[in-house]
Amino acid sequence: MCDSARLSRRSVLALAAAAPVAAAAPARASRPVLGGDRLGDDAVQAGSTTGLPGRLTARSWLVADQDSGEVLAAYRAHRRLPPASTLKMLFADTVLDRFPPGSRHTVTAADLAGIPAGSSLVGIQAGTTYTVGRLWQGVFLRSGNDAVHVLAHMNGGVAKTVAEMRAKARELQALDTHVVSPDGFDHPGQLSSAYDLTLFARYGLRDPGFRAYCRTRTADFPAGAGRRSRSRTPTGCWTGRGACGRIRG
């Protein structure tokens, strides 16, 4: 997030969800539409906003003012889709403040168990000691599922962390979200929406630590055996004037 104390103009936060149609599920119709009935419509909702791109291909998206939360434009904002790594924002909202960034942890093989095949990885090695800050850089800069699993094990385990993420989603009124794994990797039933992802982003961006990781462009990461690798922030994941940070998905 751009530092809110220095913002002198409206900054915009945009989140889109794109996933295979077969995995999509409709928003629950048994409750009022959070954010207003228009967010439940299938048509683009843009209010007085002008200049929308002529061709938008995302199956669901929402653009909001990062400070006020005002929805500026949206399309199927409550459509439930697999969130992929954007769910790591909720993971950070839940776990980020649990451990000081300078605290150190020596990774065990058990910390790395259960990481799905095909995951994005930062290259964490069992037997290597990392600071918590380095692990979070692995989450934010490389979207590393190995870093997520190590932090989840430090937090008491994957199952405990998933339960806490579900509770945090309820606290934030992110009622389209169902968490199955802390890394966001596609699992049956793991779903969220552009509306909920906006809630996760706005909540996280109030935290100075969250913003600092979003602003980080590059970091040298221990790769074991005395080696180091360099991680770079993917395009769209950093913050600057008029831009806001997030985790890629």
SS3 content of the chain, % helix, strand, coil (to 5): 35, 20, 50
Residue 114 lies in a domain: yes
Residue 115 lies in a domain: yes
Structural domain total, the chain = 1
Confidence (pLDDT) at 232? 52
Q: How far is CA 236 from the centre of its chain?
A: 13
What pLDDT, in 10s, does the model give residues 113-138?
A: 999 999 999 999 999 999 999 999 99
Residue 142 lies in a domain: yes
What pLDDT, in 10s, does the model give residues 84-104?
A: 999 999 999 999 999 999 999
Beta strands in 10-125 (DSSP E): 12-17, 60-65, 71-75, 104-106
Residue 143 annotated to the active site: yes
Selected catalytic residue, list 11, 48, 60, 88: 88
- Computed on alpha carbons and rounded to an integer, the radius of gyration of the chain in Å comes to 18
Classify residue 202 by burial, with Cβ atoms within 10 Å: 0-12, 13-18, 19+.
Answer: buried
Averaged confidence pLDDT in the chain: 81
What pLDDT, in 10s, does the model give residues 190-245?
A: 999 999 999 999 999 999 999 999 999 888 887 654 455 555 544 344 444 444 44
Under a CB-based contact definition with an 8 Å cutoff, are residues 71 and 35 in contact?
Answer: yes
Residue 61 lies in a domain: yes
Confidence (pLDDT) at 3? 32
Token pair 């002529």: residue: 54
- Given a cut of 90, whether residue 43 has pLDDT beyond it is no
DSSP for 114-151? TPPTT-------TT-EEEHHHHHHHHHHH--HHHHHHH
Q: What mean pLDDT do residues 25-41 have?
A: 60
Selected catalytic residue, list 11, 143, 181, 193: 143
Q: Domain range spanning residue 67?
A: 4-232
Which segment, 69-73, 169-173, 214-218, is predicted with the most confidence on average? 169-173
CATH no. for residue 63? 3.40.710.10
Residue 239 lies in a domain: no
Read off the tokens for 154. Answer: 């430090």
Residue 181 annotated to the active site: no
Residue 247 lies in a domain: no
Residue 151 lies in a domain: yes
Using CA atoms, how far apart are residues 52 and 230, in angstroms rounded to an integer?
37
Selected catalytic residue, list 85, 181, 192, 193: 85
Residue 241 lies in a domain: no
Confidence (pLDDT) at 37? 63
Confidence (pLDDT) at 69? 87
Confidence (pLDDT) at 16? 58
Residue 168 annotated to the active site: no
Q: Quick one: DSSP state of residue 238?
A: S
Read off the tokens for 231. Answer: 């991680």
- Strands of 60-65's sheet, edge to edge? 12-17, 60-65, 71-75
